[in-house]
């Protein structure tokens, strides 16, 4: 099993290209099930989750071809993939495929909308809370679907097609917004989604669906309206840059000190994290090429934050921020309001010498003058990269075990950091 070895203490200087967003790429790939024409996605990141979803879509009959590298293409640029679901050959998404990645459950929306039937295993994914799918199913039921759960599978039927409906989510949910948005494109009549997720990845999906012929207004606001159409066509779309990857590297630079250009990063998707990083002590400027992050070695300052749906501080950057403020000059308070089990990195950060006290969903982080390298264990995707950030600033050697979590969401992380001066390498086996 691969491990990451880090020798801390080096400042980061240079540039890091930001990959396509995993959280946008997955629903965009699933949208290929909505049409019998070809959907071409550029800037698709090379990640374990993307590879897993390719296997799942292939099981449904989606043909995929990868475009060859082009002259002058950047070394770490994403791939271009052509997805064609000319015929849906199987409307079942089996447990052995879906259990490995929660987002694969989202195929239920397009399959039901296009074929009138879907049998999808209940999902798996990171162990960061229960994250039930009841809101997904209630939305589909409101659109006329019959839902049964048998033997760990959701069986959804809409033999006469889905009908437009008014759907009011009791809480903001990105996954259910994605599923409802995709299903509504082929429903009869208008669907209104209230208390919809406002995340940039939802906007990216809506923009792609509009290119495919969908009639959507309001994406990026809390009310989305979809006027159903009889069919969608193919299109070409480029996956948005990954705001979580960009925020992660911005925190790494703030932690170590240095000067790094995050190529392609978009400030409009990172407004709250940028505010927090400036509070901590980073200088961040927007350029034509992306975001420049700079810290000259001044003391890190403590912060007080709560995770919130967009445009608030994202839960997917909570672990990274916690690693950062372990070295702050003072006490920080971090409240996790999205998931109930997302502090599993705390015990591993403590192995570096961090002082963190938990009280339910609140973590109090007392800054320490130094961290010391240690062998640590990744517990989930975002927790694993928080250990990398701590290791970059710790004295001595850090070994991060179980890095398959990292490979789910960070493309060639060790390559991107090493080219900026970090002493980091992957140890295979």
Distance CA 107, CA 111 (A): 6
369 labeled part of a ligand binding site: no
* Length of the chain (residues): 429
Question: What is the spatial distance between Cα 201 and Cα 242, in angstroms, rounded to a whole number?
Answer: 9
Rounded Cα distance, 114 and 345, in Å? 41
d(CA 384, CA 378): 4
Q: Is 55 annotated to bind ligand? A: no
Q: Computed over its alpha carbons, how large is the radius of gyration of the chain?
A: 22
Q: How far apart are CA 152 and CA 346, in angstroms?
A: 32
63 is in an annotated binding site: no
Torsion, Cα of 169, 104, 127, 262 (10° steps): -90
| 420 has catalytic annotation | no
309 among the known binding-site residues?
A: no
- Which member of 126, 205, 253, 392 is catalytic? 126
- The answer to whether the annotation marks 22 as part of a ligand binding site is yes
Give the C-alpha separation, 115 to 156, whole Å: 11
Q: Is 119 annotated as a binding residue?
A: no
Please tell me whether 36 is known to bind a ligand: no
Taking residue 28's Cβ as centre, other Cβ atoms within 10 Å add up to 25
Check: CB of residue 237 under 8 Å from CB of residue 21: no
Q: What angle do CA 227, 80, 13 make, to 5 degrees?
A: 110
232 to 158, 188, 259: CA distances (angstroms):
19, 13, 45
Task: Compute the distance between CA of residue 55 and CA of residue 32 in angstroms, rounded to an integer.
Answer: 14
Q: What would you measure as the largest C-alpha separation in the chain, in angstroms?
A: 65
Per-position DSSP letters for 196-262, written without gaps between them:
----HHHHHHHHHHHHTT-EEE-BTBSEEEEE--S----EEEEPPB-HHHHHHHHHHHHHH-EEEEE
Q: Is 135 annotated as a binding residue?
A: yes
132 labelled ligand-binding:
yes
49 is an annotated ligand-binding site residue: no
Per the annotation, where are the binding residues for UDP-N-acetyl-alpha-D-glucosamine? 102, 131-135, 316, 338
Per the annotation, where are the binding residues? 22-23, 102, 131-135, 316, 338
Per the annotation, where are the binding residues for phosphoenolpyruvate? 22-23
Name the residues annotated as catalytic.
126
């Amino acid at each position: 099993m691969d491990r990451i070895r880090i020798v801390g203490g080096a400042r980061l200087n240079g540039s890091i290209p930001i990959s396509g967003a995993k959280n946008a790429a997955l629903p965009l790939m699933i949208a290929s099930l909505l049409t019998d024409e070809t959907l071409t996605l550029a800037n698709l990141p090379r990640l374990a989750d993307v590879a897993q979803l390719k296997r799942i879509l292939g099981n449904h009959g989606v043909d995929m071809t990868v475009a060859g590298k082009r002259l002058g293409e950047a070394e770490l640029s994403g791939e271009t993939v052509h997805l064609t679901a000319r015929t849906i050959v199987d409307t079942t998404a089996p447990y052995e495929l879906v259990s490995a990645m929660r987002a694969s459950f989202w195929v239920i929306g397009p399959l039901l909308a296009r074929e009138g039937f879907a049998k999808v295993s209940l999902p798996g994914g990171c162990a960061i809370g229960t994250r039930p799918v009841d809101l997904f199913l209630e939305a589909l039921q409101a659109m006329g679907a019959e839902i049964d759960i048998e033997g760990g599978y959701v069986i959804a039927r809409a033999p006469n097609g889905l009908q437009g409906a008014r759907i009011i989510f009791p809480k903001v949910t990105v996954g259910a917004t994605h599923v409802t948005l995709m299903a509504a494109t082929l429903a009869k009549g208008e669907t209104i989604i209230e208390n919809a997720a406002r995340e940039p990845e939802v906007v990216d999906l809506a923009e792609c669906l509009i290119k495919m012929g969908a009639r959507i207004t309001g994406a990026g606001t809390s009310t989305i309206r979809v006027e159903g159409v009889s069919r969608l066509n193919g299109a070409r779309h480029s996956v948005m840059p990954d705001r979580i990857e960009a925020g992660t590297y911005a925190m790494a630079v703030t932690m170590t000190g240095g000067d790094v250009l995050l190529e392609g990063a978009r400030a409009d998707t990172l407004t709250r994290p940028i505010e927090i990083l400036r509070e901590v002590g980073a200088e961040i400027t927007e350029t034509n090429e992306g975001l420049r992050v700079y810290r000259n070695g001044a003391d890190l300052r403590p912060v007080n934050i709560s995770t919130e749906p967009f445009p608030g501080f994202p839960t997917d950057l909570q672990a990274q921020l916690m690693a950062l403020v372990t070295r702050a000059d003072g006490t920080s308070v971090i409240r996790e309001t999205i998931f109930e089990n997302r502090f599993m990195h705390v015990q591993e950060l403590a192995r570096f010498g961090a002082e963190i006290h938990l009280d339910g969903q609140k973590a109090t982080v007392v800054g320490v003058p130094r961290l010391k390298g240690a062998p640590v264990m990744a517990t989930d995707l975002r927790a694993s990269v928080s250990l990398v950030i701590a290791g970059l600033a710790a004295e001595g050697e850090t070994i991060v075990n179980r890095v398959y979590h990292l490979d789910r969401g960070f493309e060639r992380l060790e390559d991107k950091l090493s080219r900026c001066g970090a002493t980091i390498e992957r140890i295979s086996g």
